[in-house]
Amino acid sequence: MHTNPFSFGALALDRAFTDREAEVRQLVSDMQNGQDVLVYAPRRYGKSSLVLRAAQRAIRKRILVGYCDLMRTPTKERFAAALAKTIYSDLETAAGQAIDRAARLFRGLRITPTMEVDPIDGSLRFVFHAGRRRAAIDDTIEALLALPGQIAAERGRRAVVVFDEFQEILTLDGHFPNLMRAVFQEQPEVGHVYLGSKRHVLERIFEDENEPFWRSAKRLEIGTIEPAAFARFLRHRFEETEKGIDGEALNRVLEATGGHPYGTQELAYFLWELVPTGHLARLADVEAALEQALRSEHNHFAKLWDDAPHAQRLVMLALAEESTRSLYAADYAERHDLPAKPALQRAIGALVAKEIAARDAGRVYRIVEPFFADWLRSEQEALGLRDELRGR
Ligand SMILES: Nc1ncnc2c1ncn2[C@@H]1O[C@H](COP(=O)(O)OP(=O)(O)OP(=O)(O)O)[C@@H](O)[C@H]1O
Ligand SMILES: [Mg+2]
């Protein structure tokens, strides 16, 4: 018996990962060169998976790579703990007793961490108790940020630190970009990879000439996965697990997801479950799988709808029915009951900021949240969302 070869939500590692060869190669070179990079993509496009894959290759080339996810560090203490952990376990791997090594490494910090052994995997964990010593925790973080440079120099190796969900740095402290940049400028031999979604927040950090990170990193923007490459991956995985998928079904899957990495894996997951071993997935199976995907995302979509003010709802419905290059054209506005220009501009701006809608390379505005357009259309048919908006 085979298990489902598709997965969504977790990192796409090893055989779950497809395509993006050019991006991986580029990132590995950047890591070798110590070039700082900002990897930008909307949520669930596969940023973390991509950088982890590049990191695995870089590590094989003897580069030291540390990884810190700012989404998991809502406080300064936790940020310090995560930095300490990655410095200790990914960068500094000198010989000796674990506890002694860690003690030596963190001896000079203003706040010395308490060390705990994880009961499950036996690894070391660091806990920083700062209490009211707010300046001390900032100093401690500053010193931790400088450690990769020292370790790289001592070991004669290139080091790279990856900051995932980097935009969260601003919620920790609005001054942290300054603090980090000052440290990083002193360690040009350490590379940094910043990952993030929320384009407007990142742009504030990297594109504003009054900000410390202005033009400090090369930009790598990743898009959806090319449908032909994704199609080969899907077919292959079906065949390896004694199932198949016909051409029509494959086209429908990729038409529904547009090559969105998470969305495609999600739809493929449901589809695979529906097809018995030894059978082909056909068009009707894809429609059934799509329905399941919509059901499983229903709460999420309902929240997007509920949280949106009136004008945004009108724009969402319009784009779900008809993507457009001319959002502001009179006939489009009339067909879709859109508000007048200033309100319309604000609404589309908000939807783009929330990454529900986006303008693609061909300057076409469309809904990019996977399956959301399908959900809107089916709810519209079932419930008449537009009538609800008209107040009936
Ligand atoms: N290269 C890939 N090949 C196949 N599937 C992928 C690839 N990259 C990502 N995916 C799919 O997308 C999902 C999300 O990937 P990942 O967590 O790396 O994205 P992310 O952009 O970091 O997301 P988030 O914004 O939630 O942090 C994975 O669970 C997987 O299903
Ligand atoms: Mg991620």
Same domain, 101 and 209: yes
Residue 203 belongs to domain with CATH number: 3.40.50.300
- What domain range is 106 assigned to? 20-221
Would you say residue 357 has pLDDT above 90? Answer: yes
Number of structural domains (the chain) is: 3
Is residue 39 one of the residues assigned to a domain?
yes
Under a CB-based contact definition with an 8 Å cutoff, are residues 339 and 348 in contact?
no
Non-local CB neighbours of 112 within 8 Å, separated by 6+ positions:
106
Same domain, 153 and 209: yes
Q: Which 8-state DSSP code applies to residue 45?
A: S
Tens-digit pLDDT profile for residues 183-241: 999 998 899 999 998 888 888 899 888 889 998 999 999 989 999 999 999 999 999 99
Task: Please identify, among 183, 202, 221, the residue that sits at the C-terminal boundary of a domain.
Answer: 221
pLDDT value at residue 175: 95
Same domain, 37 and 186: yes
Tens-digit pLDDT profile for residues 281-302: 999 999 999 999 999 999 999 9
Tens-digit pLDDT profile for residues 146-190: 999 999 999 999 999 999 999 999 999 999 999 999 999 999 889
pLDDT value at residue 390: 67
Please tell me whether the overall predicted TM-score, pTM, comes out greater than 0.75 for this model: yes
Same domain, 127 and 158: yes
Distance 60 CA to ligand 1 centre (A): 23
Task: Please identify, among 188, 221, 254, the residue that sits at the C-terminal boundary of a domain.
Answer: 221
Is residue 15 one of the residues assigned to a domain?
no
Same domain, 27 and 144: yes
Tens-digit pLDDT profile for residues 308-346: 999 999 999 999 999 999 999 999 999 999 999 999 999
Is residue 1 one of the residues assigned to a domain?
no
Is residue 14 one of the residues assigned to a domain?
no
Is residue 172 one of the residues assigned to a domain?
yes
Q: What is the mean pLDDT of residues 37-51?
A: 94
Q: Using alpha carbons only, what angle is made at residue 369 by residues 368 and 375, rounded to the nearest 5 degrees?
A: 110
Distance 280 CA to ligand 2 centre (A): 33
Best of 13, 49, 193, 300 for a ligand 1 pocket test (most atoms within 8 Å of beta carbon): 49
Same domain, 179 and 39: yes
Would you say residue 392 has pLDDT above 60? Answer: no
Question: Percent of the chain, pLDDT > 90?
Answer: 80
Considering only CA atoms, which residue is closest to atom 19 of ligand 1? 46
pLDDT value at residue 360: 80
Closest CA to 8 of 269, 197, 195: 269
Is residue 161 one of the residues assigned to a domain?
yes
